[in-house]
Amino acid sequence: MSASNAKMRRLAVAVSLAFLAGGSAWAGDVTVYDKAPSVEELQRKLTGGEGTEGKRKLKTRAIVFGDAAPAPAAPAQEPAPQAAPQPATSYAAPAPAAAPAVPSQAAAPAAPAQQTMQVGENAIAFPINFRVNSSDVMPESIPFLESIAGLLQKDPGIRLLIEGHTDISGNAARNTVLSRERAFSVMNYLIDHYRIDPMRLVPVGKGFSEPLGGMEPTNPKNRRVQFRIIG
């Protein structure tokens, strides 16, 4: 893996974790496919039209997440006796009195800036299968990933949120971790096999927090991977 790809994948991890911290609890309009659709069908369902023009017409929800702000410039090293001492740069609001003090560090990172991610309400869901208790994609699921890759290749302006979902079976904490690992596995497959830019993909794990409407919690169809347009 190249250093630039590794760096962008680490950024995808940070964005996805921040996205989860911001919260996103809606199922929206989900279209579930049992077989891989055409690229044109995906484009209509996700963007509401043909390409970027349709994408602008999507109804979206704003998600606030942290993104590192530029660090302040380092103080000059040359002596300046005539200058008065400057106050320390403030990176965050003071902690409550009851909270323990955070140890100071040299070259501390700047406080996160607040940005907005626009997330499309329309989603498409694929029954992407993985090996038992694993994030390895099974061969029969490759046609679904080929459809997604075709959409990303056809419209370079599209960015996608990749959501891993589980049913209610098993340990809830493990399901959340597994759903996140599977979303990352799909992202990595698209990067490695189709050379999709990692900056166009944001993987998140939802566990069983957003079951499909009208289905029993144990229904295997809840084990799925969903895709939404992000701005």
Check if the beta carbon of residue 15 is closer than 8 Å to that of residue 68.
Answer: no
pLDDT of residue 201: 96
Instruction: Give me the amino acid identity at 2.
Output: S
What is the arithmetic mean of pLDDT over 179-190?
Answer: 95
Say whether pLDDT at 22 is over 70: no
Say whether pLDDT at 78 is over 80: no
Percentage of residues of the chain with pLDDT beyond 70 = 58
Do β-strands 122-126 and 29-32 pair in parallel, antiparallel, or remain unpaired? parallel
Check if the beta carbon of residue 141 is closer than 8 Å to that of residue 126.
Answer: yes
Indicate the SS3 state at residue 168: coil
Say whether pLDDT at 97 is over 70: no
Do β-strands 112-120 and 60-68 pair in parallel, antiparallel, or remain unpaired? antiparallel
Per-residue pLDDT tens for 105-154?
Answer: 444 344 444 456 788 889 999 999 888 777 888 999 999 999 999 999 99
pLDDT of residue 214: 84
Say whether pLDDT at 52 is over 80: no
pLDDT of residue 130: 85
pLDDT of residue 92: 42
What is the arithmetic mean of pLDDT over 56-78?
Answer: 45
Say whether pLDDT at 98 is over 70: no
What is the arithmetic mean of pLDDT over 78-89?
Answer: 48
Domains in the chain and their CATH numbers?
A: 3-67+113-230 (3.30.1330.60)
Angle at 203 between CA 197 and CA 207, to 5 degrees: 165
Q: Who has greater pLDDT, 54 or 214?
A: 214
Name the average pLDDT for the chain.
73
Instruction: Give me the amino acid identity at 190.
Output: L
What is the arithmetic mean of pLDDT over 16-29?
Answer: 43
Per-residue pLDDT tens for 155-170?
Answer: 999 999 999 999 998 8
Q: Who has greater pLDDT, 177 or 78?
A: 177
